[in-house]
Structure 1
Amino acid sequence: MKDLYLMRHGETIFNQRKLVQGAVDSPLTAAGIKDAAKMGAYLKQQGLTFDHAFASTQERASDTLELVTKQPYERLKGLKEWDFGLFEAQPEYLLPKFVFTDAGQADFFVPYGGEAAVQVMDRMDKTISQIMAKTDNQRVLVVSHGAAILMFLVKWMTSTEIVKIKDLPNCTVLHFTYNTATGKFAFVEMFEPHKL
């Protein structure tokens, strides 16, 4: 059994201003920097070290990872945030009021140049599964994004479990085990920065 620690990046200026942030990027806020460093200290205090670390190619994710650990890491496009097309950098209130897991609305962003839910789910699952399948990856840290992580959860968790953690605060870490025999992930626990 292997361990995956899947983390959402720290708070950014767009998060603070309630702007849609998928393919676009914005820098971490002072709070985002503080929370990332706090989570890094907490993981170290728990005696957690990582064989390897990975981040999305977007700066808010790699900047967060660099505050959590000083170890070398790899940036992977498969860990990027959902592309929301023309909704990028627009106020969040313009987003439709539906659950992203609703199959009837899963393609909402496609006509606007964005990704379908299944595209995000497939690339997240494929990328993380490939990471965990490598022999020397026993305990891994991955830094990604809120909506992209949600799609990974939809793949591997029940709707009841997801409801409990759907509103994923910035810098939250989700711990999963990975069964090498079956290729399946199982949720274990969650660490939220404001609860440390």
Structure 2
Amino acid sequence: MVNIYLIRHGETILNKEHKIAGQIETELTETGKNQAIQTALNLKKQGVSFDIILCSTLKRAKDTAKIISEHIKTSLMEIDDLKEINSGDFEGIALDKLHEICFNPPYKSGGFVFYNGQQLREMYNLMLPEYDDIAQPNGETKAQARERFMNAIKQFLDAHPQVQNLGVVAHGAVIRFTLLKICPETVKEKIKNAEFRIIKYEKEKGFFI
């Protein structure tokens, strides 16, 4: 059985500005760097060690992973499929501005029509299962992003059966989508910057809590 620590990157400039980052690059703030250090110290205090840390190829995840790896003394591997969901036309847009660009005429996807920004924010934040196959304009669906993310971890672990403790530094949305798939009770749980959640993996059983 493998213990997997899913760690969100530290605060970024776009996080601070309440904008959707998706797959565009954004730097860690000083707060974000300090959050990563504190997470590393907390993990170390708990006696956590990693055989390796995997991280997204986006800079905010790489920088967070580097800080953690320097404190825990382990190696890093970048995997492109651990990136955040592709939010398409919404990347770089402030959350409170979405209604100004999406709903005149209403945007339709997957048989569902968004009539106002509040519906979209509820879909994005609560991630209800019935919205699993809806994409933001020119972006990925939650299902596509989740399967990409989970398959990347699975393929790595199946190819490296000696790994028992794995760190994965990635992004808020894909981590939440993964948790929702494994444990639907986490639907309203928000993961703050540099926080982590622990899941487990067995080749025969798959991912579980």
The bucket for the TM-score relative to the shorter chain is: 0.7 to 0.9
Where does the alignment leave 5 or more consecutive residues of structure 2 unmatched?
Answer: 99-116
Provide the residue aligned with 1:80 in structure 2: 83
Q: TM-score, normalised by structure 1?
A: 0.86
| 1:168 equivalenced with 2:191 (yes/no) | yes
Instruction: Report whether the alignment pairs 1:113 with 2:142.
Output: no
Cα distance in 2 for partners of 1:126, 1:34 equals 31
C-alpha RMSD over aligned residues: 1.5
**Partner of 2:164 in structure 1?**
138
Q: Distance in 1 between matches of 2:82 and 2:9?
A: 11
- AA partner of residue 66 (structure 1): K
Picking from 126, 148, 167, the partner of 2:174 is: 148
Question: Mapping of 1:54-133 within 5 angstroms?
Answer: 54-70=54-70, 71-93=74-96, 94=98, 96-97=120-121, 98=123, 99-104=126-131, 106-109=133-136, 112-133=137-158
User: Partners in 2 of 1:22 and 1:104 — Cα distance?
Assistant: 18
Distance in 2 separating the partners of 1:44 and 1:156: 27
Q: CA deviation at 1:45?
A: 1.4
Do the aligned residues in 2 keep the contact of 1:100 with 1:106 (CA within 8 Å)? no
Q: Is the 8 A contact 1:121 1:152 kept in 2?
A: yes
- Structure 2 CA distance, aligned partners of 1:141 and 1:105? 26
Q: For the residues of structure 1 that align with 2:206 and 2:156, how far apart are their CA atoms?
A: 11
Q: How many residues align?
A: 181
CA deviations 1:75-104 (Å, max 9, x no partner) are 111110001111110101216222323424
Kindly provide the CA deviation profile for residues 3-30 of structure 1, in whole angstroms up to 9, marking residues without a partner as x.
1011000000000000111011110011
Deviation at 1:185, TM superposition (A): 2.1
CA separation of 1:184 and 1:105: change in aligned 2, threshold 3 A = closer
Give the share of equivalent positions with the same residue, in percent: 29
Partner deviation per Cα, 1:152-184 (whole Å, 9 max, x = no partner): 1122112x2333xx2110001111122333223
Q: Is the 8 A contact 2:10 2:193 kept in 1?
A: yes
- Partners of 1:76 and 1:23 in 2: CA distance: 14
Which protein has the larger Cα radius of gyration, Structure 1 or Structure 2? 2
- Relative distance call for 1:107 and 1:172 in structure 2 (3 A) is same
* Residues 132, 143 of structure 2: 8 Å contact kept: no
What amino acid does structure 1 have at the position aligned with 2:127? F
Question: Once structures 1 and 2 are overlaid, which stretch shifts more, 67-76 or 80-89?
Answer: 67-76
Instruction: State the match for 1:179 in structure 2.
Output: 202
Structure 1 residues 181, 11: CA separation in 2 closer, same or farther (over 3 Å shift)? Answer: same
Q: Secondary structure at the match of 1:74?
A: strand
CA contact (8 A) 1:20 1:89 kept: yes
